[in-house]
Every structure is written in C-alpha cells, then in structure tokens.
C-alpha cells in the first residue's frame, strides 16, 4: 500500500532508484526486515519499510530526500548499529537511509578542535584518529 493513493509503491521505488546514483536501493525481504526491526519491537512486519537505501555519496542522500519529499515518505536515518549509537527504528512504509558506507574522516584540525567526517563514521574510530 502506498503512502498516498495517487502513487503506487513500484512507481516510488522506480523514481528512488533513478535518484540514487551511487548507492543501493534494497527492497528484498531480508533487507527490509533487518532495517525495519529492532529489539524493542515485537514484529518487523508492523514497521516494514518501503526500501533500504545504502548511501555511498552526498548525491545518494539528496536523491533519497528529494524522492521522499515528492511522495511524502518518511526517512529514517540509520548508521553502524554500535552499542553507543543504535540509530532509529524503522517506521511503516518509510525509507531507511543507511549511512554506514559513508565512513570517511575527511579532515581533523587539532588546532581548532574540529573534525569533518561523513555521517557513518564510528565515534571510536574518530577518537583514535584524533589522538594520532
């Protein structure tokens, strides 16, 4: 069932795939179940996402957000699922936006105590890099 009756899921997914140039748009049952379920929920089916987007670039994030806006689909960001930062649980008929592949430390400026990182960087990795 689509979020709005005017759009069907296949149309939304096709548009999403066009707008995500570098990443992957996953719609298989295993990926949807994994992205939609957490230990706090009793059933992944009740919160089943429409798609899981594995972003590899800023353009993938932009394309996901543009498509979500066009079709009024919620976006749930998820990252590494470490014990420190679990991330958000899936929401029914949403896009799960995974940034775990975007894990580069761009720059560390020790003098100004500033780091520029991609959204999937693990805090511990950043801490280790900053201590070098």
Residue 110 lies in domain: 103-132
Q: Is residue 107 part of a domain?
A: yes
Q: Cα(45)–Cα(35) distance, rounded to whole angstroms?
A: 11
The model's pLDDT over 72-120, given as tens digits with 9 standing for 90+, comes to 999 999 876 665 555 566 778 899 999 999 999 999 999 999 999 999 8
Give the predicted TM-score (pTM) of the model: 0.81
Beta carbons within 8 Å of 42's beta carbon, 6+ residues apart: none
Q: Are residues 97 and 107 in the same domain?
A: no
List of E strands, 1-132: 24-26, 51-54, 75-78, 95-98, 105-109, 114-117
Same domain, 68 and 96: yes
**pLDDT tens by residue, 27-71:** 999 888 876 655 555 554 557 889 999 999 999 999 999 999 999
Question: 76 with 39, same domain?
Answer: yes
């Amino acid at each position: 069932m689509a979020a709005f009756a005017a759009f069907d899921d296949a149309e939304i997914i096709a548009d999403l795939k066009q707008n995500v140039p570098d990443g992957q748009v996953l719609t298989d049952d295993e990926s949807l179940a994994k992205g939609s379920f957490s230990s706090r929920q009793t059933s992944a089916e009740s919160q089943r996402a429409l798609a899981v987007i594995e972003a590899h670039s800023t353009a993938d994030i932009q394309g996901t957000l543009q498509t979500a806006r066009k079709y009024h689909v919620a976006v749930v960001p998820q990252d590494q699922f470490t014990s420190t930062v679990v991330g958000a649980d899936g929401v029914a008929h949403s896009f799960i936006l995974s940034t775990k592949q975007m894990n580069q430390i761009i720059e560390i400026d020790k003098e100004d105590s500033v780091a520029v990182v991609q959204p999937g960087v693990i805090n511990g990795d950043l801490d280790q890099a900053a201590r070098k």
